[in-house]
Amino acid sequence: AEICFTERIRVDEGDIEELADNIAEHGLINPITVMMKESGGYMLISGYRRLKACAMLGCDAVSAAVLTAIDAEERLRLEISENEQRKDFTVAEKVEYARKIRVVEEEKARQRMSLYARGGNPTKEGRLARATPENVGKKGRTRDEVARAVGFGSGAQLERAEYVAKHRPDLLQKVDRGEETIYGAYRTAYEEKKTQGAVKP
């Protein structure tokens, strides 16, 4: 079945070849995690490096834990909670979790839309059966709610971090080390982008 990806933060992926060698020797111990899509196929939730390593090995099939949109949301909440307790939640990881939450929320919205179009079926659809004409089509969590869920102070701060992650991901490491603020990194990335845009090819 087809596995779709969303835009991923450009961070160091580590040694994929070493991971591939490990999988070749021991097998895929931890399956990747995917979410079922209303339109068919699956969306990757976690396991990007493992999937790339398996592709490098030429694997025809990969073990995967298949989640519904509701289950995927609960899995993300648990992972976020565990990371906060360990205090090793980097800015890049926060941005990545925010992206995943949006993907899950968008899929939940599509499922609500489909459920409402079918007239709803509480016995089969569980919590998604609460769809009504009023909530169908809503975008799910607001920007500020997503930001708070992953540990940012505001939606504006999350947007700045996302901008840095897209244009100058290397600056996020300075933020993590306390050498730069998110706002400072954003201003640097923004000014560089503006300067580049002002230069004619």
Is 5 a residue whose pLDDT tops 70? Answer: no
Specify whether the CB–CB gap between 50 and 32 falls below 8 A. yes
The pLDDT tens digits of the residues spanning 87-146 come to 567 898 889 888 888 888 888 888 777 777 776 554 444 454 443 434 433 444 578 888
- The model's pTM is 0.65
Nearest residue to 136 (alpha-carbon basis) of 152, 149, 161, 117: 117
CA–CA dist 79, 71 (Å, integer): 12
DSSP 127: G
136 vs 173: CA distance, rounded Å = 39
Which pLDDT score, from 0 to 100, does residue 23 have?
A: 93
pLDDT of residue 12: 56
The confidence score (pLDDT) of residue 15 equals 81
The pairing of beta strand 42-46 with beta strand 3-4: parallel
148-175 pLDDT, tens per residue? Answer: 888 898 999 999 999 999 999 999 999 9
Q: Quick one: pLDDT at residue 73? A: 84
Task: Please state, in angstroms and rounded to a whole number, the distance separating the CA atoms of residues 134 and 24.
Answer: 51
Is 52's pLDDT higher than 50? Answer: yes
